Amino acid sequence: MSATAKTLTLHLGLLAVLFALQFVLPAYHHGNLARIMVLASYAVGYNILFGYTGLLSLGHALFFAAGMYGMGLTIQYAGFTPAPALIVGILAGAVVAAALALLALRTTGVAFLIVTLMFAQAGYLTILYFGEYTRGDEGFVIQAFDRMLWGIDLSNPENRYFAAWGLFAVCLLLCLRLVRAPFGKTLVAIRENEERVRMLGYNTFAHKWGAMVISGTISAAAGAFYGLLFGYAGATFASVQYSIFPLLWVLLGGAGTVLGPFVGTLFMFYLIDLSSGVTTAYLLIVGVALVLLTLFAPQGLTGELRRRVWRWLP
């Protein structure tokens, strides 16, 4: 089999397995997996900027929250139905990402990270400041009767799973297509050596800007779907923690691999799920995982797999 055929088989196979799983999983894991697929879509978006372009952002919660609140607030106050509200959410994320990218990409390295962190923090505080509308930390519930998409009730677990699967499938295939396209290859080249790419005549700024907008848009889509599927929007999703989580998932699963974000999210979700039976200090696990990863497996799980077994993995 050629590398392309192998790649397609693997990724479509994963999607098929995930699709089939909904008929066999018990209710608890069924709900978990739906959540994991939405969060993994967020991680896929993060990975495009961090894994493929090599830009470490600590501000993706801003995009996630832009999607979530763009969707939630229009349903809550403008009386939108879910379909236009989702579009508003995704567009909000795209606009925020486009604007922030124009500013933040003027810096590099650690400064880029701090600029994204600061703007995300400002966004989080803004949500708290307008607590009258956003209900701040407490958040607001999106009622079940507001969550009917084209006559499909998204508060029903089966429909929810299917919607989460659809979102994840779109994000995964989009990412796969992107990294195999010339644009994606240029991003990888920028990650490896930006000066050389610039010298070869590429507009590196435009490429990085594009990557950040795509990454932010996917993150916003995940945020909008998360709010809609689970019926809740709260300021916690805009906090630094939700910028660190996708970083952790991607690092764990393998930065710069298409499957990595899903593997990392799945692994981390169940690690926290299992450990929360033992202790409430589940963030301790997050901390230990981060330190161990940077020390021993900077490539992540999928990255190690690629290094040792499947060299063709995209």
Partner 1 sequence: MELGPYILLASLEGAVTAAVLALTAVGLSLVFGVMRVVNIAHGEFFMLGAVIAWFVAQTVGGHPALGFVAALVIAPLVVGAIAAAADMTILKRIDYDPERTIVATIGLLYIIQQLTLMTYGPEARPVEAPFNQRLAIPWFEWGEEGFEFYFPWGLSTTTYKLAVIGAAGVVLVGVWLMMARTRIGLLMRATQADRDMALAFGIPVERVYALVFGIGAALAALAAVLIVPIQQAHYLMGADPLLLSFIVVIIGGLGSLPGTVVAAIFIGLSDGIISVFFSPTLAKILATLLVGLVLVFRPQGLFGTRAA
Which residues of the chain form contacts with partner 1 (CB under 8 A)?
A: 56, 103-104, 106-107, 109-111, 113-115, 118-119, 121-122, 125-126, 128-129, 244, 247, 251, 279, 281, 283-284, 286-295, 298
CB-count exposure of residue 162 (10 Å: 0-12, 13-18, 19+): middle
Minimum Å gap between C-beta 204 and partner 1 is: 17
Write out the H or E segment, with its range, that includes residue 264. Answer: helix 260-275
Q: Which is nearer to partner 1, 3 or 288 (CB)?
A: 288
Which of 271, 45, 302 lies closest to 175, judged by CA?
A: 45
Minimum Å gap between C-beta 234 and partner 1 is: 16
Q: Which is nearer to partner 1, 48 or 71 (CB)?
A: 48
CB-count exposure of residue 142 (10 Å: 0-12, 13-18, 19+): buried
Q: Which is nearer to partner 1, 143 or 294 (CB)?
A: 294
Q: Which is nearer to partner 1, 84 or 287 (CB)?
A: 287
Minimum Å gap between C-beta 283 and partner 1 is: 5
Q: Is 141 left (phi over 0), alpha (psi -120 to 50) or beta?
A: beta
Which of 218, 184, 181 lies closest to 40, judged by CA?
A: 218
Q: Where are the alpha helices (DSSP H) in 48-180?
A: 60-77, 82-104, 109-129, 131-134, 157-180
Which of 262, 248, 245, 240 lies closest to 290, judged by CA?
A: 248
The size of the chain, in residues, is 314
Q: Which is nearer to partner 1, 103 or 206 (CB)?
A: 103
Minimum Å gap between C-beta 107 and partner 1 is: 6
Q: Which is nearer to partner 1, 143 or 241 (CB)?
A: 241
Give the separation between CA 78 and CA 83, rounded to whole angstroms: 13
Q: Which is nearer to partner 1, 20 or 281 (CB)?
A: 281
Strands 232-233 and 152-153: unpaired
Minimum Å gap between C-beta 72 and partner 1 is: 20
DSSP codes, 280-308: S-THHHHHHHHHHHHHH-TTHHHHHHHHH
Q: Which is nearer to partner 1, 91 or 113 (CB)?
A: 113
Minimum Å gap between C-beta 125 and partner 1 is: 5
Minimum Å gap between C-beta 190 and partner 1 is: 15
Give Cα 96 distance to the centre of its chain: 15
Minimum Å gap between C-beta 284 and partner 1 is: 4
Question: Token digits for 143?
Answer: 């009622």
The helix-helix angle for 182-192 and 204-230 (nearest 10°) equals: 110
